[in-house]
Amino acid sequence: MPKYMVERELPGAGKLSTGELQEISRKSCSVLEELGPKIQWLNSFVTEDKVYCLYIAPDEAMVRRHAEMGGFPVTAVSEVRTTMDPTTAEPVAS
């Protein structure tokens, strides 16, 4: 199933309290339960004014539906084509 990265403009995101982040997480989980098992939230990265969320979902429409139901902003949704990390630089064994 495809992965999607969602960019959310959220001024002051980096200053959200633990309680505020917990409440946002609870809302997201509640919406995910309602949508069913085909969409999964993997994790999110909070920066000063944005939040980047990674999902597994059958299509972009379901990711956008999650945001709509939760009242979460969406600046952009991009399908993840592949991943890389420092091990990507290592030679491939033949």
Query: What is the predicted pLDDT for the residue at 93?
Result: 81
Q: Cα separations (Å) of 29 from 2, 21, 36?
A: 19, 12, 11
Confidence (pTM): 0.91
Three-class SS string for 22-87? HHHHHHHHHHHHHHCCCCEEEEEEECCCEEEEEEECCCHHHHHHHHHHHCCCCCEEEEECCCCCHH
Query: What is the predicted pLDDT for the residue at 92?
Result: 85
Average pLDDT estimate for 60-67: 98
Domains of the chain as residue ranges with CATH? 3-83 (3.30.70.3090)
